[in-house]
Amino acid sequence: MAVYVDALRLMDALTAEEIMHVDLGEAFRKRFKNPYAVVHRGDLYGVFLKACRAHDRIEVRVSSEVAGYDQDGSGVSVRLASGERIASTALIGADGLWSNVRKQLVADGPPRVSGHTTYRSVIPTDRMAEDLRWNAATLWAGPKCHLVHYPLSGWKVFNLVITCHNDAPEPVAGKPVPRDEVMRGFAHVHEKARQIIDLATEWKLWVLCDREPVEKWVDGRVVLLGDAAHPMLQYMAQGACMAMEDAVCLSHMVEAFPDDLEKAFEAYRSRRVFRTTRVQLQSRAIGEHVYHPAGAHAHLRNAVMRAKSQEEWFDTLQWLYGSTGLNEKNFG
Ligand SMILES: Cc1cc2nc3c(=O)[nH]c(=O)nc-3n(C[C@H](O)[C@H](O)[C@H](O)COP(=O)(O)OP(=O)(O)OC[C@H]3O[C@@H](n4cnc5c(N)ncnc54)[C@H](O)[C@@H]3O)c2cc1C
């Protein structure tokens, strides 16, 4: 279901010229021992759901909002919004950006609103401009805005994810929005980049949020995972990847300390916290210094990024792609 893209490509959205690309071919695969894959969210969830349904120790329940938890030394009582209680050995709060488990465990208030608005659409491949049907994850960087596109689902569609920094004040998730409104934040970019927006008929918007990194992910037999632990801007395309690495690491630690869950949770936390903190902070920095600068700041970006060789780009990415993210020395 995944598409193995050949390059990560950065375009200047004002001139429509390539700034740089990272070649994801043989040399990348040899160095990092894996290809670079992009996959549709629905396709990925489908794989997980199928595996859960096939497992005799997993019961999938929907419409079961977790409101909070109580615990003593031997177990956790999970409170559902319906009033129902579920008695369990432990609780993994993987309930996303607005996590109720985190609300109780960390109690650090609502997420930080970034002021950046993202619009998303998916278009059939035959509607994508022919000269832009690149087998690449392509990013066009412009003043206070950027556009991303790449092929998905066995080349059936192109994913379009475009973002502008418009100081949006309130968090929003998945609200349908007309194309004219989408266009407003991109009036200043090159015609070729603007044409991409014209290709899609249906758009939805998100006002992006993240949080300051925290070190508290564990409370006795309760532990956080994924966005509940470390919500980040999507600028490194790593939120779901980090959630999956968390899950694998947590399973390994529970396997290593099956009789001491609190020890297992702490071992997991200490292996994951620096790496995810780095991705949270670097995602913000990339937005500011790579995706959205203007004028001299943008010219400096182009000069610095053009000067690097492919080998130097691999070195830059080593901390992220050069490890499985499962041990303590994985934050670069
Ligand atoms: C615009 C955009 C683009 C992105 N692009 C990428 C990308 O290219 N690559 C990448 O790796 N990541 C990307 N991400 C990030 C990625 O979507 C998230 O990091 C990822 O979904 C986090 O997974 P999660 O399982 O922790 O949380 P979620 O996917 O948010 O899942 C949380 C689940 O918990 C459920 N839930 C919530 N509250 C409760 C409750 N109280 N009780 C019970 N259930 C509850 C929700 O219904 C949901 O099913 C992007 C995000 C956005 C917004």
Asked if residue 94 has its Cβ within 6 Å of ligand 1, the reply is yes
Torsion from C-alpha of 103, 108, 97, 165, nearest 10 degrees: 160
Asked if residue 118 has its Cβ within 6 Å of ligand 1, the reply is yes
Best residue among 43, 92, 95, 172 to mutate for probing ligand 1's pocket (most ligand atoms within 8 Å of CB) is: 95
Asked if residue 241 has its Cβ within 6 Å of ligand 1, the reply is yes
The pLDDT of residue 331 is 62
Q: Rounded to an integer, what distance in angstroms lies between the CA atom of residue 129 and that of residue 182?
A: 19
Determine the distance separating the centroid of ligand 1 and the alpha carbon of 239, expressed in angstroms.
8
| Atom number in ligand 1 closest to CA 66 | 42
| Atom number in ligand 1 closest to CA 228 | 26
The pLDDT of residue 211 is 98
Q: Rounded to an integer, what distance in angstroms lies between the CA atom of residue 222 and that of residue 91?
A: 5
Asked if residue 234 has its Cβ within 6 Å of ligand 1, the reply is yes
| Atom number in ligand 1 closest to CA 67 | 41
As a whole number of Å, the end-to-end CA separation of the chain is 31
The pLDDT of residue 305 is 98
Determine the distance separating the centroid of ligand 1 and the alpha carbon of 95, expressed in angstroms.
8
Q: Rounded to an integer, what distance in angstroms lies between the CA atom of residue 275 and that of residue 271?
A: 8
The pLDDT of residue 64 is 97
Determine the distance separating the centroid of ligand 1 and the alpha carbon of 94, expressed in angstroms.
9
Question: How much is the pTM?
Answer: 0.95
Give the CB-side neighbour count of residue 201, counting CA atoms within 13 A: 2
Q: Rounded to an integer, what distance in angstroms lies between the CA atom of residue 3 and that of residue 134?
A: 12
The pLDDT of residue 264 is 96
Determine the distance separating the centroid of ligand 1 and the alpha carbon of 192, expressed in angstroms.
32
Determine the distance separating the centroid of ligand 1 and the alpha carbon of 98, expressed in angstroms.
10
245-273 burial, b if ≥16 CB within 10 A, otherwise e?
Answer: bbbebbebbbeebeeebbebbbbbbebbb
Q: ∠ CA(212), CA(217), CA(222), 5° rounding?
A: 145
DSSP assigned state of 221:
T
Determine the distance separating the centroid of ligand 1 and the alpha carbon of 101, expressed in angstroms.
15
| Bridge partner list, 223 | 92, 218
Task: Please give the average pLDDT of every successive group of 10 residues along the chain, which has 332 residues.
Answer: 95 98 97 94 95 96 97 95 97 98 98 97 94 95 97 93 96 95 94 93 96 98 98 97 97 95 95 96 97 98 98 96 79 60
* Residue nearest atom 1 in ligand 1 by C-alpha distance: 118
Based on DSSP, count helices (H) and strands (E) in the chain, helices before strands.
9, 16
